Amino acid sequence: MKGRYITIKKTEDEDRLDKVIHRHLTGVSRSTARRWIEEGAVQVDGMRIRRQSYIVTTGQTVAIYTPVHPDLSDSASQQSTASRCTSGSLIIHEDPWYLVIHKPAGMPAEETLQGRAGTLPHILETTLGYSHIALVHRLDMGTSGIMVVSRKAAATRELNRQFRDHSVEKKYVAIVRGVPYPTPGSIENHLERDPDDPRKMTSRVNSGKHAVTQYEVLATAGEVSLLTVTILTGRKHQIRVHLSERGHPVAGDRLYGSPDDASPRLMLHAWQLAFDCPRTGERRWFSAPVPSVFFTWSGIAPPTRAQFGDGPPHNYS
Number of C-beta neighbours around residue 54 at 10 A: 18
| Of the candidate ranges 40-49, 127-136, 208-217, the one whose mean pLDDT is the lowest | 40-49
| Of the candidate ranges 47-61, 111-125, 196-210, the one whose mean pLDDT is the lowest | 111-125
Averaged pLDDT score across all residues of the chain: 86
Does position 254 have pLDDT exceeding 90, yes or no? Answer: yes
CA angle 114, 65, 187 (to 5 degrees): 115
pLDDT greater at residue 297 or residue 79 = 297
The whole-number pLDDT of residue 313 equals: 41
CA distance 183 to 294: 20
Q: Which residues are catalytic?
A: 140
pLDDT digits (tens, 9 = 90+) for 45-91: 888 888 899 999 988 889 887 654 343 334 444 444 444 555 557 89
User: What are the structural domains, with CATH classification, of the chain?
Assistant: 4-64 (3.10.290.10), 71-308 (3.30.2350.10)
CA distance 101 to 124: 10
pLDDT digits (tens, 9 = 90+) for 230-244: 999 999 999 999 999
The whole-number pLDDT of residue 314 equals: 43
pLDDT greater at residue 270 or residue 38 = 270
Does position 184 have pLDDT exceeding 60, yes or no? Answer: yes
**pLDDT above 70 coverage of the chain, percent:** 86
Sequence-separated (6 or more) residues with CB below 8 Å from residue 217? 179, 180, 183, 184, 225, 226, 227
Mean pLDDT of 219-227: 96
305 dihedral zone (left: phi>0; alpha: psi -120 to 50; beta): alpha
